[in-house]
Structure 1
Amino acid sequence: MAAKASGGVQSVERVFELLELITDAGGDVTLSELSGSTDLPLPTIHRLLRTLVSLGYIRQLPNRRYALGPRLIRLGEGANKQLGALARPQLKMLVDRLGETANMAVLESDMVIYIAQVPSPHSMRMFTEVGRRAHTHDTGVGKALLAQLDNDTVRGIIARQGMPTPTTKSLGTIEGLLADLELIRARGYSIDEEEQELGVRCFAMAVPNAPTPTAISVSGPVTRVDQAFADRAVPMLEAAAAIISSDMNSN
């Protein structure tokens, strides 16, 4: 295999370029769409795709489009577990200092997936099962993740997944969501104001420079998670997110 001057193996770099292009396109693309998104020659793209299909990392749909394959699920689940383990010390720090449940989540296939949690010591506390999937628009971590994306990408996610309203306080229109995202971008953190579950408030923040959209949060009953709590929690979330980001990007 030819090696690039940077020291990378060119064929491997090309494979991952194609996988990332398919992911960025929403999970499935045509051969011509891939060709228009990369400088790779068409025969090279076709040869790499054929190899990936044979290995199960890509699948070809009946309409001839290429989609991510099932063998990537195992890799993704393993990576999520490692990511959750890396963040656990910071989540525990948040729980120790704030007394409320801390979570970590990533954006996967247009949905939030929770990959780590440290529960509150209180008997009345929030519990979200690791591995649970949730919508982006009605969760603190989800909105923190969406705020990192441009509005057209957000519109696409909502168009594909919809906007169910589990409570009377849930956002039910794309206009309302985009307005909330503008506030989140301005202040640097999101708030779930009983949008996922009545009586529960959550503060969340994106992890900067994460290799995949990632956010952390603290949540609990509105009787405890109030403005005084927010004044303490937000700086701690910011510090924890910075440390997690540094740990993720360290060699």
Structure 2
Amino acid sequence: MAAGPTLIGSVQRALHLLDAVGASERPVTAKALARGVGLPLPTTYHLLRTLLHEGYLRKLDDGYVLGEQVGALRKHNSLHALLPKIRPVLRALRDEVRGAAYLSLYSGGEIKLIDIVDAPELPAVDLWVGVQEAAHATAFGKCILSCLDPEARRDHLSRYRLADLTPHTITDTRVLEQRLAEGGGVFNDREEYLLGTACLATPVRAPGVVGAVAISLPARRLPAVEPVSLERASRRVSRAFALLS
């Protein structure tokens, strides 16, 4: 007879408490949760303190409610559910332009690379410097920075210096701001992040969403690339996010 899975009781009990709080339309007291889940009150308090500390619950005057981390999980789950719809768009862009395709989003005050669709013969860029530190040197980073309000853009640039990655990298904030203003909806990286590699990016916009779709390819091919395919892909991704909101 096969042995059953090894389960961690404390994790189960914490999840049962989250379920109980989420099922209630009103804040729930610790005593009510202990009775409803069938736990000793001291154990309940111990688990509640941990869930509060990690942000999965909030304590109000009249009881417990779900915390911000639960909302973050829902958002991430929504994004994971959306990726199967977005990836075919990125794959079609890769095949049409013959370059690796990327989706990046601005989330929690940071620029995050969400998905990459490449191929053995069309490899993605070797991201030897982190996305956050190199927003000024990447097409999708500049694209997202251009979509932020001035305060959010200043906040980002104040936290990440304009590192000199190649001889072509913009390291002057005033020059960067000028390039962002002149972007016109299509932003490029001409060997600014990595010598021999170029990128193009266009914005992804939907309610509550700021992002970019980008492609990378050998720098020698950049002059021959028309942005029409990229703009079409970004519109399709924007529509997918709009339907989710």
SS of 1:156's partner is: helix
Which of residues 194, 199, 210 is equivalent to 1:197?
A: 194
Name structure 2 gaps, 5 residues minimum: 1-24, 27-50, 59-66
> Is residue 197–residue 217 contact of structure 2 (8 Å, CA) maintained in 1?
yes
Aligned counterpart for 1:126 among listed residues 124, 127, 133: 124
Distance 1:113 1:176 in 2: 24
Alignment match, 2:153: 154
Amino acid at match of 2:110: M
1:175 aligned to 2:174? yes
Contact 1:99 1:122 in 2 (8 A): no
Q: Does 1:143 align with 2:142?
A: yes
The answer to whether the 8 A contact 2:187-2:200 is kept is: yes
Letter in 2 for 1:143: K
Percent identity reads 24
Paired position in structure 1 for 2:20: none
TM-score if structure 2 supplies the norm length?
A: 0.65
SS in 1 for 2:115: strand
Distance (whole Å) between structure 1 residues aligned to residue 200 and residue 131 of structure 2? 18
CA–CA distance in 2 between the matches of 1:58 and 1:170? 44
Q: Residue type of the partner of 2:239?
A: S
Max Rg structure? 2
After superposition, the C-alpha distances for 1:174-226 in whole angstroms (9 at most, x for unaligned) are 11110010111xx21110111111111000011122532111001111122x2
Secondary structure of the structure 2 residue equivalent to 1:97: helix
Does the Cα contact within 8 Å between 2:143 and 2:201 map onto a contact in 1?
yes
Cα deviation for residue 73 of structure 1 reads 5.9
My pick for the range that moved more, 94-103 or 144-153, is 144-153
Say if 2:228 is the partner of 1:235.
yes
Paired letter, 1:116: D
CA shift at 1:78, angstroms? 3.6
Alignment of 1:37-48 (within 5 A): none
State the partner residue of 1:222: 219
Residue number in structure 2 paired with 1:88? 87
RMSD between aligned residues: 3.1
Look up the equivalent residue of 1:218 and give its one-letter code. I
CA contact (8 A) 2:142 2:180 kept: yes
Aligned partner of 2:204 in structure 1 is 207
Change (3 A) 1:140 1:199: same
- Structure 2 CA distance for aligned equivalents of residues 156 and 144 of structure 1: 16
**Where does the alignment leave 5 or more consecutive residues of structure 1 unmatched?**
1-10, 13-51, 60-67
Output the CA distance in 2 between the equivalents of 1:80 and 1:143. Answer: 23
C-alpha distance in 1 between matches for 2:92 and 2:110: 27
* Cα distance in 1, alignment partners of residues 82 and 218 from structure 2: 27
Aligned length: 187
